[in-house]
Chains A and B, each alone.
Chain A
């Protein structure tokens, strides 16, 4: 590239970085203070866009930006008061489930309110044209953005360091318990910070209007970008978010400038993975203070006693009789449920007792599925061999990712697993000659003896039943207790001879392998496989199932899977706005049963 081309791509990168920063800064602030992983941040951004496009004809662009930011801020504050505030005492990550529900609701709301068509908003008055820089036209508006990012950064910095409110925010970010002990009114602090974060997201969305249309897919794109920036920068660090946005904006612009555009599909995740491996707390982040006090104590895990074992045996017998009672579709649905139950239980294995929340567990489901498809189609292996060997690919992937992941903690770990999953996804998505690219592979049918729905159902029942039983058994064995020991008190575990990383790594690999078994079964039950199997939404599904059922219970995640798959099937058929309906149901369940369904039942019976 010539000098002027370099300069222009650098400016493009800067413009991109500044819009990234606006979204990411709010997310980082919210996380820093409240420890909430706000999935709905992208939805707030999307709302900002829609509201601005919608208001602009009446109020003019600049007033629309201001109003959109304020409306979104108010929405954010209301969400905090109405939903999240009720969940601070609940197990960590449950807020994540609530914000996931909000994503679904907001998206269907936008569809309902503004219709399906993309809405390209107006250009910014006074900034609609281009200026000439080094002989090339460069949008004047992008220059404005380049100036605006640092301005917002400075304002935020001043707010955080020069005002009493900012001091409280920083105190709460550093040490939540201490701030509370010193009499900071947490309620209003949290509402305020959530409102501020939403304001920034809404402003970011509104300011993106001159550059891109408001569309219904914007939320997920924005949230994934924002998460990457926040994590790369270091959670809770506004300067870190600024730096990370710059790095990622520039890396992307130069990938495009140098003609490596295919990489842009995954480049931010590659950057994130590298940063996390080298700097486990992000570029400017600090180690998260370990939570103290009662909130950190996990309840004991349930055990399958004689009565429960009897009940499960009865259930198995009932399930074995299903082909006699149900129609063919019941078997299809039941097969799906069984596969996802094993998938959810495998995630729970590492996430509950292991304390390692994987946000990319679909990677192993997908690796198992692709393994099975490739063995069948490319190596011409028989079904039985494909089913048996495919999980090894998942094992390999989990062992690789886990090796790095167990060196991290908390959300950083979660995001490294997510990055790994995205990288695997983009490989499957682009490696056309092997994986079939975005179309995937078809013709993945099982051998004739498994072709009937009932035969395949029995196979799924057998394999998933045994898989789940083995995982539960392992949780009641030294392995599971050792995992819990590493989660409960790593120092103590180390002081009694436990290699915590090692047991976590083993747990991670086991969880990945069982997810791979589920994936292989899934591939043969569908007859085809595509990158969607290892995409982020699938990983999120697994998280939802586990949290819905109760992450600190033994059998809950399996029930969560049953409920979620059934609900999705039922609502998608019966309800027009079925995603919002799922969101509403999940939200209601979260508010009523903050410890998950099984957790709730356990508490009831304990009384």
Chain B
């Protein structure tokens, strides 16, 4: 079942076209990677999807509802979870509280002035942490975590809203190589069991070709190849892009 549909997405900054008419879709349970050299438009694409930027033209729909023109917080409520390239968690809170924060937001109790926060949805938060393998560290302040663990916490936060779509911007950047595979495998498992569409950008080609169901290749703002990893790997234009002209 198709979750995310992107059609004719276009964005330019002061005359420079960052994206030109990009169209693609992602289905539930599918892991799709966006690759491309620096400046190809990956980050722009992501920021359009999560609402930090507004497109000049084109449409983005999730389960038939358009995401264009909505603030990031509203897009999140429509079922889009995300992890950041440079991890962003609440440093003054514990791991569990970080997840609870997302749960409290999901339940729209953000402004409750008297409820004791530490007791709210603690069990559900722990369950989420268990799924990402972070339960043992639930009580630690986020500020003290190793980088890879922070990525897992972000994953747990992203899962809190039972997302339909998960956006992961360079999920394995900054991690040791043995951790990378584990994290992406985890994301993959979650996607399959919960039926989440996953879109991620990635520099590590081993990760991309080892785990993605499909690969999108962006170059100079245009989508030049789409398909299963083994198809994209042998695509002439992709070869040319990465290996230079034959």
Binding site for B on A (CB under 8 A): 294, 296-301, 303, 470, 473-474, 476-482, 484-485, 487-489, 491-499, 503, 506
Contact = CB atoms under 8 A, between A and B. Distances in A.
A484 B102 CA distance: 13
A303 B118 contact: yes
A298 B117 contact: no
Contacts of A487: 92
A496 B90 CA distance: 12
B116 A482 contact: no
10 contacts: A297-B91, A470-B113, A474-B113, A477-B114, A478-B112, A482-B110, A488-B89, A496-B101, A499-B71, A503-B110
Interface in B70-109: 71-74, 76-77, 82, 84, 88-94, 97, 100-102, 104-106, 109
Given A494-B72, A496-B101, A499-B73, A485 B117 contact: no
A480 B100 CA distance: 13
Contact of B101 (A470, A473, A481): A481
Contacts of A492: 84, 88-90, 157
Contacts of A495: 50, 72-73, 76, 82, 84, 88
A300 B113 contact: no
Given A491-B88, A495-B50, A496-B101, A476 B116 contact: yes
Contact of B114 (A299, A301, A474): A474
A476 B76 CA distance: 25
3 smallest beta-carbon distances between A and B, as pairs: A492-B88, A297-B91, A488-B90
A484 B90 contact: yes
B88 A489 contact: yes
A473 to B, nearest CB: 6
A89 to B, nearest CB: 16
Given A484-B90, A492-B89, A495-B76, A477 B117 contact: yes
Given A492-B84, A492-B88, A495-B82, A481 B93 contact: yes
Interface residues of B, number: 39
Contact of B110 (A473, A488, A498): A498
Contacts of B88: 489, 491-492, 495
Nearest to A303: B118
Nearest to A499: B73
A480 B90 contact: no
Contacts of A482: 101, 104-105, 110-111
Nearest to A486: B90
Contacts of B104: 478, 481-482
Interface string B26-47: 0000000000000000000000
B161 interface: yes
Contact of A496 (B105, B109, B112): B105
Contacts of A488: 89-93
B72 A479 contact: no
A496 B161 CA distance: 8
Q: Secondary structure at chain A's binding surface: helix, strand, loop or mixed?
A: helix
B115 interface: yes
Nearest to A294: B143
B106 A497 contact: yes
A516 B232 CA distance: 66
A52 B149 CA distance: 61
Pick from A478, A485, A492, A498 the residue with the most CB of B within 10 Å: A478
Contacts of A485: 90, 93, 101
Contacts of B160: 496
Given A495-B73, A496-B101, A496-B157, A478 B89 contact: no
Contacts of B91: 296-298, 488-489
Interface string B145-172: 0000000000001001100000000000
Nearest to B106: A497
B161 A481 contact: no
Nearest to B78: A497
Given A297-B143, A477-B117, A489-B88, A498 B73 contact: yes
Given A297-B143, A481-B97, A496-B160, A473 B113 contact: yes
B141 interface: yes
Contact of B116 (A470, A477, A506): A477
Given A496-B160, A499-B73, A491 B84 contact: yes
B120 interface: yes
B115 A496 contact: no
B115 A498 contact: no
A478 B109 contact: yes
Given A476-B116, A496-B160, A489 B110 contact: no
A497 B161 contact: yes
B73 A478 contact: no
A40 to B, nearest CB: 30
A478 B92 contact: no
A205 B4 CA distance: 65
A196 to B, nearest CB: 35
B145 to A, nearest CB: 11
Interface string B113-140: 1111110100000000000000000000
Given A478-B104, A494-B71, A484 B76 contact: no
